[in-house]
């Protein structure tokens, strides 16, 4: 049952301490800043976060890490010129890092959404990131066994949603959104606006509404259809 | 006690039991009848495994479009809020456990929820499986719609399927012309009977049956799936 | 290097006897009839064909089977009310059948395109379609190991292409097209028309041009830009 | 004999060697310089692993759009014929062997084509791998662009990498400021030298080198990858 939240704070309710949370974005593109800020305000802690990076500068995921809400991060590229909050937490031994090649990260998330129990990828074979993992030679090529990354919740950003929960994205901000939406038990999406069902061309939908649980719109005009009636509007008719 | 149900009656019963807002796949054959009994107020979204969510009623006349068909290859229509996707994405929806309910026909269902609905196992039969195994394995709830007895009077709810299996322990409900069965962790409870008393039913079926609960309700909570 | 063929006969050149060919379509929707007819005319035989079905009535794949050009078919649903040519070939022992659950078929084709060496799926576990296959219990659930289906060629149908080879599809005719385009070494696409690069919105492209080798357009007006210059036009500028 | 190449010179050389019509990924750092030397006549399509084919030059001024960035997170532009896709689809392009060429920077390359470019192995270093292993493993041709010697004069073309590996036996060419090397099934042939004679080069590198072929050509056929 799709819910439309009046605010980002309403939208992120239900994420518990210790939850595994997929957070969309590649750098800042596609990073759901409003939802992350709300998660920060909620005080939730002890999180395992899955993201390509480990935060940039002083916004979004970086602040969540600065405030020590993240117990463990699963990512491909934590070290950047402006990843100072992660760097400090890591050197202090206050955050656990699971480093995953970027394509393996995306494929493990996809596998969770697609009900795949595990898969063999050639990426990383013979490297230290395959140490301790099952390997297999298939048709003369080496492969590493990788497992799905399931999650309690996903926080992602899309361009628009319709009232059936269908999503479209914008340019390279699409990145991890579609696979994360499918992999989490509870998917929360920050969009610019929510339009009526029928306003998105069915051929152009990137994430079908079946994967979306909660929407929150940044544009108050259309977003706050819910506001008069409390924080969460149940969408009974698309 | 009401009379036995006909196919339309079973379809109406199932339609009424699907929780509002559900994403549902109706298997080819009998279960497609269910769509006719869904109401707009239920806000049910239909999935067809050949690549669509938001499938509408059968197409007629000018609506018929060879590029818009259902899993049974019959022309259908598109509702507002629909979406199209390719086959791997469509079966990821199924295998990934995202469908709330799927309703399938069956040759046999076992008391532990095993399903046989794709192959009679006959020597000269040409096997064809389609999406049956994916649906049986993937949906959160797998409901079966079938006649309780075959033409020669043999029960299709059995201790152990003799036909080749489609999926193991996957069926949670069985809707038939004479009764509705709720399957849960190896036990089979009769939710209601139609045209026969519980005792009469139990004597004709080789699976231990629990009687209807004291106050049966038509829309009781779907049984949870183990695992 | 993308080629635009003047005719379907030009387009299917290079498919050898004994080749493994992915053929798009679910029933007749998305089935590339022009390409199959050309393949029939070419006389190519001993094929292994991968398709969801085994042909309907007296057109397309059914005729290829009737003419005994198909040595083996890998499909999910061969038996239909109008699959008489397959039925006859099968009962005569003149075609080999590998029956694969539909979702496993799609995922095996996807795995080939995505460089995955194999994967574990819950579909078919404990059934006769898993007999002889490796199985594994993961987190208490049974899974079957399945391998990628690579192919020499793919014949698919899309709605439109641009001169960069990008494709869009139409409604449920999309079905196997995108995964097959990626899985074959040589992908041949039948479209209604070929438009200039830039005419398809990059957000709406379903199959990126990197997967497409040869295009042929049904609408002669735009298709036959190539015709004066022989059968195959090399696209040097999009 | 010409002089040693600067970075722009190496980038220009690589750009000229990419076959027309290729799909190419230019890794972050030095290899991004190559884009400036590609000509429209080459009809090269650039892939960026964060979800795009048909990437154009760096964005400037009003073109800058936070939603349109490359793998190095720098603003870029979109060319006609571009397409966007999600991360799993983008890495399927790489892992599936669909890119014709990728060009990566490196700490070390071994004579058998092993690549080390993601981690110095230093005790206090924070590791970050990004898409490096996927590119090294997936592209049909993996070319390296690097200086031949590091600051203290140690050769980066080595018998065996001492840094943690990115991929095994994946590199087919190494473009450096002093020479271009062609790697094929364990042998290393110098295609050309820049500012140094072959013999001088061979004496400073601990990998057996084959001399340039009799009539070297700038655009010779890409070396095939074993397997």
- Please write the tens of the pLDDT for every residue from D162-218: 999 999 999 999 999 999 999 999 999 999 999 999 999 999 999 999 999 876 455
Q: What is the mean pLDDT of residues C113-127?
A: 98
pLDDT on residue B28: 87
Comparing C73 with A229, which gets the higher pLDDT? C73
Q: What is the mean pLDDT of residues A55-77?
A: 96
C interface test, pick of D25, D45, D81 with most C CB neighbours within 10 Å: D81
Tokens of B159: 């201790």
In a domain, B154, yes or no: yes
pLDDT on residue C234: 82
Which of these, D104, D94, D90, lies nearest to D139 by C-alpha position? D94
pLDDT band at C190 (very low <50, low <70, confident <90, very high): very high
Q: What is the mean pLDDT of residues A136-144?
A: 97
Residues 6+ apart with CB under 8 A from A41: A9
Residue A61 has pLDDT above 50, yes or no: yes
- Please write the tens of the pLDDT for every residue from A157-167: 999 999 999 99
pLDDT on residue C218: 80
pLDDT on residue D223: 46
- Please write the tens of the pLDDT for every residue from B86-96: 999 999 999 99
* Chain B residues near residue A161 by CB distance under 8 angstroms: none
CA angle A125, A129, A130 (to 5 degrees): 45
**Surface of D (72-101) touching A: CB under 8 A:** 73, 78, 84-88, 90-92, 94-95
A interface test, pick of B96, B99, B138 with most A CB neighbours within 10 Å: B96
**Percent of chain B clearing pLDDT 90 (strictly above):** 88
Domain that holds residue D187: 7-38+98-202
pLDDT on residue A219: 60
Q: Do A162 and B81 touch (CB under 8 A)?
A: yes
Give the gyration radius of chain D's Cα atoms.
17
In a domain, D44, yes or no: no
Tokens of A137: 């030679």
pLDDT band at A228 (very low <50, low <70, confident <90, very high): very low
| Cα–Cα distance for residue pair B33/B18, rounded to 1 Å | 14
* Whole-complex ipTM: 0.94
Q: Walk me through the domains of chain A, giving residue ranges and CATH numbers.
A: 2-235 (3.40.1080.10)
In a domain, D207, yes or no: no
> Cα B193 vs. chain centroid, distance in angstroms?
18
In a domain, B166, yes or no: yes
Sign of CA dihedral C56, C58, C63, C67: positive
pLDDT on residue B224: 42
Start-to-end CA distance of chain D, whole Å, equals: 36
Q: Distance, in angstroms, between A116 CA and closest chain C CA?
A: 5
The residues of D annotated as belonging to the active site are 49
Point out the residue among C116, C210, C238 whose CB comes nearest to the CB of D98: C210
Q: Do B50 and C91 touch (CB under 8 A)?
A: no
pLDDT band at A175 (very low <50, low <70, confident <90, very high): very high
- Please write the tens of the pLDDT for every residue from B104-136: 999 999 999 999 999 988 888 899 999 999 999
Which of these, D116, D101, D119, lies nearest to D173 by C-alpha position? D101
Q: What is the mean pLDDT of residues D77-90?
A: 98
Point out the residue among C116, C138, C168 whose CB comes nearest to the CB of A120: C116
Q: B78: phi > 0 → left, psi -120 to 50 → alpha, else beta; which?
A: beta
Residue B223 has pLDDT above 80, yes or no: no
Tell me the helix, strand and coil percentages in chain D, rounded to 5.
20, 30, 50
| Cα–Cα distance for residue pair C217/C223, rounded to 1 Å | 5
Asked whether D91 and D131 are in contact (CB, 8 A), the reply is: yes
Residue C223 has pLDDT above 80, yes or no: no
pLDDT on residue D1: 52
Q: Distance, in angstroms, between C191 CA and closest chain B CA?
A: 14
Tokens of C197: 């690069």
Residue D128 has pLDDT above 70, yes or no: yes
pLDDT on residue D227: 36
pLDDT band at D226 (very low <50, low <70, confident <90, very high): very low
Strands D115-116, D108-110: parallel, antiparallel or unpaired by DSSP?
A: antiparallel
pLDDT on residue C75: 97
In a domain, D33, yes or no: yes
The HSE-up count of residue D98 (CA atoms within 13 Å, CB side) is: 29
Residue of D nearest to A170 (CA): D67
pLDDT band at A118 (very low <50, low <70, confident <90, very high): very high
In this complex, whether C and B touch, counting 3 or more CB pairs under 8 angstroms, is yes
Q: Do A175 and D127 touch (CB under 8 A)?
A: no
Q: What is the mean pLDDT of residues B26-41?
A: 93
In a domain, D134, yes or no: yes
> By three-state DSSP, how is residue A170 classified?
coil
Asked whether C125 and C146 are in contact (CB, 8 A), the reply is: no
pLDDT band at A222 (very low <50, low <70, confident <90, very high): very low
Strands D101-104, D115-116: parallel, antiparallel or unpaired by DSSP?
A: unpaired
Q: What is the mean pLDDT of residues A200-225?
A: 84
pLDDT on residue A210: 98
> Cα B2 vs. chain centroid, distance in angstroms?
22
Q: What is the mean pLDDT of residues B165-189?
A: 97
Element spanning C145, H or E? strand C141-146
Residue D38 has pLDDT above 60, yes or no: yes
Average pLDDT along chain A: 94
Q: Where are the beta strands (DSSP E) in A86-227?
A: 96-99, 118-121, 135-138, 141-146, 151-157, 160-162, 167-168, 184-191, 193-195, 214-217
Residue B82 has pLDDT above 70, yes or no: yes
Residue D26 has pLDDT above 80, yes or no: yes
pLDDT band at A123 (very low <50, low <70, confident <90, very high): very high
Residues 6+ apart with CB under 8 A from C33: C59, C60, C157, C190
Residue C15 has pLDDT above 60, yes or no: yes
Which of these, A187, A102, A115, A180, lies nearest to A147 by C-alpha position? A115
Q: Do A103 and D52 touch (CB under 8 A)?
A: no
Give the total number of structural domains in chain B.
Answer: 1
- Please write the tens of the pLDDT for every residue from D209-224: 999 987 645 555 544 4
Residue C11 has pLDDT above 90, yes or no: yes
Comparing B20 with C231, which gets the higher pLDDT? B20
pLDDT band at D74 (very low <50, low <70, confident <90, very high): very high
A interface test, pick of B23, B44, B51, B83 with most A CB neighbours within 10 Å: B83
pLDDT on residue A221: 45
The HSE-up count of residue A16 (CA atoms within 13 Å, CB side) is: 6
Q: Do C29 and B127 touch (CB under 8 A)?
A: no
pLDDT on residue C232: 81
Using the Cβ of A57 and the Cβ atoms of chain D, whether some distance falls under 8 Å is answered with no
> With 0-12 CB in 10 A as exposed, 13-18 as middle and 19+ as buried, what is B90?
buried
CA angle B35, B36, B42 (to 5 degrees): 65
Q: Where are the alpha helices (DSSP H) in chain B?
A: 7-17, 87-95, 132-138, 198-204
In a domain, B65, yes or no: no
Indicate which CATH number applies to the domain containing B185. Answer: 3.40.1080.10
Residue of B nearest to A205 (CA): B83
Q: How many other CB atoms are there within 10 angstroms of residue D69's CB atom?
A: 27
Using the Cβ of A143 and the Cβ atoms of chain C, whether some distance falls under 8 Å is answered with yes
pLDDT band at B1 (very low <50, low <70, confident <90, very high): low
pLDDT on residue C99: 97
Using the Cβ of A113 and the Cβ atoms of chain D, whether some distance falls under 8 Å is answered with no
Asked whether C26 and C52 are in contact (CB, 8 A), the reply is: yes
In a domain, B134, yes or no: yes
| Cα–Cα distance for residue pair D151/D141, rounded to 1 Å | 28
Q: Where are the alpha helices (DSSP H) in C12-66?
A: 33-42, 61-66
Q: Is B141 a catalytic residue?
A: no
In this complex, whether D and B touch, counting 3 or more CB pairs under 8 angstroms, is no
Tokens of C236: 């040097």
Angle between helices C102-114 and B87-95 (to 10 degrees): 120
**Percent of chain A clearing pLDDT 70 (strictly above):** 94
Q: Where are the beta strands (DSSP E) in chain D?
A: 23-26, 45-48, 52-58, 76-84, 101-104, 108-110, 115-116, 141-145, 157-158, 171-175, 179-184, 187-193
pLDDT on residue B183: 98
pLDDT band at B206 (very low <50, low <70, confident <90, very high): very high
* Chain C residues near residue A117 by CB distance under 8 angstroms: 119-122, 136, 138-139, 141, 143
- Please write the tens of the pLDDT for every residue from C39-66: 999 999 999 999 999 999 999 999 999 9
Tokens of A43: 């005080």
């Amino acid at each position: 049952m799709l819910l439309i939240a009046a605010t980002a704070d309403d939208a992120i309710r239900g994420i518990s301490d210790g939850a595994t949370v997929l957070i969309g974005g590649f750098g800042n593109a596609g990073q759901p800043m409003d939802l992350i800020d709300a998660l920060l305000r909620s005080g939730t802690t002890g999180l395992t976060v899955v993201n390509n990076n480990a935060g940039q500068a002083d916004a979004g995921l970086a602040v969540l890490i600065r405030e020590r809400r993240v117990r463990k991060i699963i990512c491909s590229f934590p070290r950047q010129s402006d990843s100072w909050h992660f760097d400090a937490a890591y050197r202090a031994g206050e955050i656990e890092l699971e480093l995953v090649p970027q394509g393996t990260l995306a494929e493990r998330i996809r596998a969770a959404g697609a009900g795949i129990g595990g898969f063999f990828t050639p990426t990383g074979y013979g490297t230290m990131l395959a140490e301790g993992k099952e390997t297999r030679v298939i048709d003369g090529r080496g492969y590493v066994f990788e497992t799905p990354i399931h999650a309690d919740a996903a926080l992602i950003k899309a361009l628009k949603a319709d009232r059936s929960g269908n999503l479209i994205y914008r340019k390279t901000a699409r990145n991890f959104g579609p696979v994360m939406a499918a992999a989490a038990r509870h998917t929360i999406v920050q969009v610019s606006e929510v339009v009526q069902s029928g306003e998105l061309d069915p051929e152009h939908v990137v994430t079908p509404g079946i994967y979306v649980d909660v929407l929150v719109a940044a544009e108050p005009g259309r977003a706050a259809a819910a506001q008069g009636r409390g924080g969460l509007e149940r969408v009974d008719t698309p | 006690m009401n009379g036995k149900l006909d196919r339309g009656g079973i379809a109406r019963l199932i339609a009424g039991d699907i929780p509002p807002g559900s994403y549902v796949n109706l298997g080819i054959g009998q279960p497609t009848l269910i769509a006719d009994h869904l109401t707009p107020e239920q806000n049910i979204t239909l999935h067809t495994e050949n690549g669509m969510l938001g499938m509408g009623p059968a197409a007629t006349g000018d609506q018929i479009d060879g590029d818009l068909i259902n899993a049974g290859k019959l022309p259908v229509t598109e509702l507002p809020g629909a979406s199209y996707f390719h086959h791997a994405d469509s079966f990821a929806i199924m295998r990934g456990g995202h469908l709330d309910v799927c309703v399938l026909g069956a040759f046999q269902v076992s008391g532990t929820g095993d399903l046989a609905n794709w192959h009679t196992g006959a020597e000269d039969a040409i096997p064809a499986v389609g999406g049956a195994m994916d649906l049986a394995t993937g949906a959160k709830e797998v409901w079966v719609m079938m006649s309780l007895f075959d033409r020669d009077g043999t029960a299709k709810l059995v201790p152990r399927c003799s036909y080749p299996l489609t999926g193991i322990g996957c069926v949670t409900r069985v809707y038939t012309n004479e009764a509705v069965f709720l399957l849960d962790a190896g036990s089979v409870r009769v939710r209601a009977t139609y045209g026969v008393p519980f005792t009469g039913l139990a004597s004709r079926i080789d699976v231990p049956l629990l009687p209807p609960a004291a106050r049966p309700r038509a829309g009781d909570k779907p049984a949870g799936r183990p695992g």
